[in-house]
Amino acid sequence: MEDKKDTEPENGNVKVVCRFRPVNQNELDRSGEKQICQFSKNKKSVTILRSKNSDGSVSSNKFTFDRVFDTQVTQRKVYEKAAKPIIEGVLKGFNGTVFAYGQTGSGKTHTMQGPDIEDLEQQGIVPRMIRTVFNRINSLDDNVEYTIKVSMAEIYMEKIKDLLNPTKVNLKIKKDKDRGIYVQGLTEQYIASETDVYNIMKVGNAKRTVASTQMNDASSRSHSIFIMNITQNNLDDHSSKSGNLYLVDLAGSEKVAKTNVCGTQLEEAKGINQSLSTLGKVIHALTDKKIKHVPYRDSKLTRILTESLGGNAKTCLIITCSPSSYNELETISTLRFGTAARNIKNKPKVNKKYTVAKLKLIVSQKNKLISTLRERILCLQNFIKENGLEVPSDKTLKELAVKLGPEVDKIIKEEQEMNDEEEKDNSERDSEGSKIDEDDADDLIDEENKEKSKKFLQLVESNTDNSSKTRDKIMAEYLKIQKLLSQEREKCQKQVDLISNLKEDHQIFQLKIKKLSLIRENFDNYKETTEQKVNEFKEETEDAKNKLEITNAKMTKVKRELAEIKKLYATAKAKVERYEEKGTEFMIDESKQNKEFRKKVKALHDQIAERDQLLSQIQHNPEVSSDLKAIIEESQHQLLDQERQAMADSDNPLLKKFLIEGGDINLVPKQDSCYLAPSDVERIIAKQKENQKLLLEKKKKASNLKKENSDLLAKIASLANIEKSDLESVANAMAEEKLEDIKEQFTNEKEKIMESLQIRSEKVLQLDEKTDIPYKKSTKLRDSFDSDHSDKAKIIRNYEKNIESLILIHLQTSFELSAMKVEMKVSHRQVKSLTKKLESAKKDLKMKSDDNKDLRKIVSNLQNTAENATFFQHRNTIVSPHHSTLRKVIKKTKKS
């Protein structure tokens, strides 16, 4: 088994190990299986056999490192030799760094992470280090408390990105007295188990900038840094140690011609090569004594690695190489880089701190020592006095100090060295984890002082006999004690200063804690208020949603009602139009026929009168024979037939009706006048009945209309009720006053509507009466026809009058209907605009659902509009605005 020291560099130098990966397919294709590296048996050097020179000879370069790993080495071996000593150092309180450098595709990520971080065989050094940490923690005593924090960052195109919080993309590097160099704002994740770290690593690795190049399918385009801080608090001696571990997987150096990258990848390659070249410069500056300035600040990478390169850290550089001749130049360049880095000297030290309690303890020990020394001086002075000697003055003492100075210094130095050695032993014992009990420490100091006093007294006693001889010695001893005292005082002062500094720090820290707790408190309050507000807002939103839903439902209902009203209105309108058309047709037809009929009847009357006259003259003429009279009578009949035929042939449909459908008109010649035959009267009566029937139909229609109107009214009233209920539901949220106002308004409007309804009912009754008049008249006429045939002509005239009045009524109805039609059109438009308003109101409501004020306003407007519309609807269906004017026109017509 190899010795551990085998790979340990001396004097804190950076440890450099070199790893060659197996040849890959790309290299096999290009340069075959031939390898350019020869590994030494002691595993410390590698010889690169370079290409043939022009004379056929082969030159070679030998490179020596702390360890060289050949192509077949296992991941475990690399870890044990390269990284394990570093993590062990970190666990002792040192800072540690492991970083991999090499050509792109040479195996840096393979070495650092491994193909699978959870595969125990294949995992790289990062997961193995983590396992070591947790194994160590679990095996140690309970008197040490561990705190582990991890961070992951990448430097991409000279910008530091937090891999655990990728929103942090351009973080700054800072320096602090306590923390040293650190990345400001970088997420630090506290971890408690191996699994925690693996999970974090998976998250961080997934965020890394990786791209496929000709040299590597998954080429890292950034430098990735895994930082682990391990702090150990020793509960026994109140000391704390803190070690930072930096695990850096650098982006690969690359020859652009080989990687064949362009665009962003070309820019990346430039950035990568630039920062790696700065790393080379830093290493060069650190190893060349002539160069005073180290350009750490020239790149983010070297700035972060300041402590790792030439500072307070134990560092291991792993250089990774390709064994193929295809990458010969890159391999040699990498090996040279490693060789240079080997010369970097680091100054690692344990980052140990004492707690205030521990420092107080040290001060009290020193104080004890001072008082012991004082006592010793007093004792010495007394001894001098007792021996009749004079205690030397300060001046004499100073002179003596000058005289005996070198001798005293020598004694002090010897003692100092002894102390240092003791301290070192203690420190080593500390670092090994050995414990010293506080009481034991006190005892040790007391023992030490007693021992010193004893020695001193012995010295004094031995010197008493020959005081003159030993006086100088005593004085020297005295001076030595004085000097030791002042040194101890100084030390003590330093410790006191340190304590006061620590106290100050402690106070600042406590202030910070106070501030933080205040911030926390504020934050909690803020959070609480915000949560409350959010809840309130949620509730409000829920309310608003409910309200909106209710309003929507109401709107839909109102809309549905309106659509029904519109439908009813359309049906009513269609009915009215049909009625109007039929009425007008009928009226025109009737008036035409009646006129012609009257004309014909008049003409017939005239003819009959003439003939009657002639006939009576002939009949009363004695000169006319009875035969002639018969002939005349015969011819009269013939004439009548002819006339009847002519009438039947005429265009008058009424006459035709009479003659063709109803049979003959028998004109009965009378002595002084001519009357209609009873059969004709019967027909006229039938006609009258038909008219009556028509009138009844009209009446029926009027009553239907009335019914429809009342239905409409009921609908409108229910709509008004809906609006009212809407209003009431919204008004609940409104002020009481507003509600009263609206209710009052509503009642007024309702009263108005009821009034107009009353008026309309009256009007309908009037209309009914009007339609009843001709009916009654025709009944009367029929009665009169029945009672007295002799008054038939008179009745016909009455009948004609009645027909005229009927025409007028029809005209009136027609006017009324057309006026109603116009108004219904207006009403229709109003209904349309109302629908539009309702729709826009609905939209508004949707948009401002949470604004109750607006809602109230809109609903109030809506209610007013709906009420107005309802009112107009009533008015339009009930009262014609032109009714009085119409009546005047009818009156005029009647008169004329």
Ligand X SMILES: Nc1ncnc2c1ncn2[C@@H]1O[C@H](COP(=O)(O)OP(=O)(O)OP(=O)(O)O)[C@@H](O)[C@H]1O
> Which residue ranges are tagged as binding site for ATP?
102-109
Using the minimum distance from each CB to ligand X, give the nearer residue, 115 or 881: 115
Say if residues 396 and 473 touch (Cβ distance below 8 Å): no
Q: Which helix (H) or strand (E) holds 303?
A: helix 300-304
Using the minimum distance from each CB to ligand X, give the nearer residue, 110 or 128: 110
Residue 272 Cβ, how far from ligand X at the closest point, in Å? 8
* Distance in angstroms between the alpha carbons of the first and the last residue of the chain: 144
Residues in the chain: 896
Angle ∠(770,774,778) on CA atoms, nearest 5? 160
Does 372 interact with ligand X (rule: CB under 6 A)? no
Residue 138 Cβ, how far from ligand X at the closest point, in Å? 30
Q: Which long-range contacts (CB under 8 A, 24 or more apart) does 362-370 make?
A: 362/495, 363/492, 363/495, 363/496, 363/499, 365/441, 365/442, 365/445, 366/488, 366/491, 366/492, 366/495, 367/492, 368/445, 368/446, 368/449, 369/445, 369/449, 369/488, 370/485, 370/488, 370/489, 370/492
Residue 196 Cβ, how far from ligand X at the closest point, in Å? 25
The piece of 106-114, 133-141, 553-561, 656-664 that touches ligand X (CB under 6 A) is: 106-114
Phi, psi angle pair for 499, to nearest 5°: -65, -45
Using the minimum distance from each CB to ligand X, give the nearer residue, 74 or 718: 74
CA distances to 180, 182, 662, 790 from 785, in Å: 133, 128, 18, 9
| C-alpha 771, offset from chain centre | 74
The piece of 90-98, 212-220, 279-287, 827-835 that touches ligand X (CB under 6 A) is: 212-220
Helix (H, G, I), strand (E, B) or coil at 101: strand
Does 108 interact with ligand X (rule: CB under 6 A)? yes
Using the minimum distance from each CB to ligand X, give the nearer residue, 104 or 324: 104
Residue 539 Cβ, how far from ligand X at the closest point, in Å? 55
Closest residue to ligand X in the complex (CB): 252
CA distances to 322, 502, 595 from 539, in Å: 67, 53, 80
Residue 29 Cβ, how far from ligand X at the closest point, in Å? 15
Considering only residues 752 through 781, tell me which ones interact with ligand X, judged by CB under 6 A: none
Among 187, 219, 275, 876, binds ligand X (CB under 6 A): 219
Distance CA 554, CA 780 (A): 57
Residue 228 Cβ, how far from ligand X at the closest point, in Å? 20
The piece of 27-35, 57-65, 108-116, 419-427 that touches ligand X (CB under 6 A) is: 108-116
List, in order, residues 6 or more apart from 837 with CB less than 8 Å away. Answer: 862, 865
The tokens for 532 are 């409350």
Using CB atoms within 10 A of its CB, is residue 462 exposed (0-12), middle (13-18) or buried (19+)?
exposed
Residue 233 Cβ, how far from ligand X at the closest point, in Å? 37
Does 105 interact with ligand X (rule: CB under 6 A)? yes
Residue 19 Cβ, how far from ligand X at the closest point, in Å? 7
Give the CA count within 13 Å in the CB-facing half-sphere of 543: 12
Using the minimum distance from each CB to ligand X, give the nearer residue, 22 or 166: 22
Residue 205 Cβ, how far from ligand X at the closest point, in Å? 12
Using the minimum distance from each CB to ligand X, give the nearer residue, 102 or 583: 102
Using CB atoms within 10 A of its CB, is residue 865 exposed (0-12), middle (13-18) or buried (19+)?
middle
Amino acid letter, 767: L
Q: Which long-range contacts (CB under 8 A, 24 or more apart) does 113-116 make?
A: 113/201, 113/205, 113/249, 114/75
Does 115 interact with ligand X (rule: CB under 6 A)? yes
Using the minimum distance from each CB to ligand X, give the nearer residue, 107 or 774: 107
Using the minimum distance from each CB to ligand X, give the nearer residue, 11 or 25: 25
Using the minimum distance from each CB to ligand X, give the nearer residue, 107 or 311: 107
Distance CA 798, CA 778 (A): 9
Q: Give me the residues paired with residue 244 across strands.
A: 229
Residue 71 Cβ, how far from ligand X at the closest point, in Å? 7
Helix (H, G, I), strand (E, B) or coil at 53: coil
Total number of residues that touch ligand X (CB under 6 A): 19
Residue 104 Cβ, how far from ligand X at the closest point, in Å? 4
Q: Show the site string, 236-265: x = touches ligand X by CB under 6 A, - = not.
A: ---------------xx-------------
Q: Show the site string, 635-674: x = touches ligand X by CB under 6 A, - = not.
A: ----------------------------------------
Residue 130 Cβ, how far from ligand X at the closest point, in Å? 19
Q: Show the site string, 64-103: x = touches ligand X by CB under 6 A, - = not.
A: --------------------------------------x-
Which segments are annotated as binding site? 102-109
Using the minimum distance from each CB to ligand X, give the nearer residue, 24 or 594: 24
Quick one: CA dihedral 133, 138, 144, 146, positive or negative? positive
Say if residues 87 and 129 touch (Cβ distance below 8 Å): yes
> Which of 293, 352, 323, 344 minimizes the C-alpha distance to 99?
344
Among 123, 132, 216, 551, binds ligand X (CB under 6 A): 216
Does 109 interact with ligand X (rule: CB under 6 A)? yes
Considering only residues 377 through 416, tell me which ones interact with ligand X, judged by CB under 6 A: none
Does 874 interact with ligand X (rule: CB under 6 A)? no
Among 7, 132, 205, 220, binds ligand X (CB under 6 A): 220
CA distances to 43, 140, 152, 234, 318 from 228, in Å: 30, 19, 9, 19, 19
Does 104 interact with ligand X (rule: CB under 6 A)? yes
In this structure, what DSSP letter does residue 666 have? -
Say if residues 336 and 317 touch (Cβ distance below 8 Å): no
Using the minimum distance from each CB to ligand X, give the nearer residue, 187 or 259: 259
Give the CA diameter of the chain: 224
Q: Show the site string, 281-320: x = touches ligand X by CB under 6 A, - = not.
A: ---------------------------------------x
Q: Show the site string, 317-346: x = touches ligand X by CB under 6 A, - = not.
A: ---x--------------------------
Q: Show the site string, 439-468: x = touches ligand X by CB under 6 A, - = not.
A: ------------------------------
Amino acid letter, 432: E
Distance CA 799, CA 792 (A): 10
Residue 111 Cβ, how far from ligand X at the closest point, in Å? 7
Q: Give me the residues paired with residue 452 across strands.
A: none
Does 351 interact with ligand X (rule: CB under 6 A)? no
The piece of 107-115, 528-536, 545-553, 658-666 that touches ligand X (CB under 6 A) is: 107-115
Quick one: CA dihedral 352, 357, 360, 364, positive or negative? negative
Residue 73 Cβ, how far from ligand X at the closest point, in Å? 7
Among 35, 97, 106, 302, binds ligand X (CB under 6 A): 106
Say if residues 667 and 604 touch (Cβ distance below 8 Å): yes
Using the minimum distance from each CB to ligand X, give the nearer residue, 218 or 714: 218
Residue 326 Cβ, how far from ligand X at the closest point, in Å? 14
Amino acid letter, 433: G
The piece of 16-24, 388-396, 428-436, 857-865 that touches ligand X (CB under 6 A) is: 16-24
| C-alpha 880, offset from chain centre | 61
Angle ∠(430,435,440) on CA atoms, nearest 5? 120
Using the minimum distance from each CB to ligand X, give the nearer residue, 334 or 709: 334
Q: Which residues bind ligand X (CB under 6 A)?
A: 21-22, 24, 102, 104-110, 115, 216, 218-220, 251-252, 320
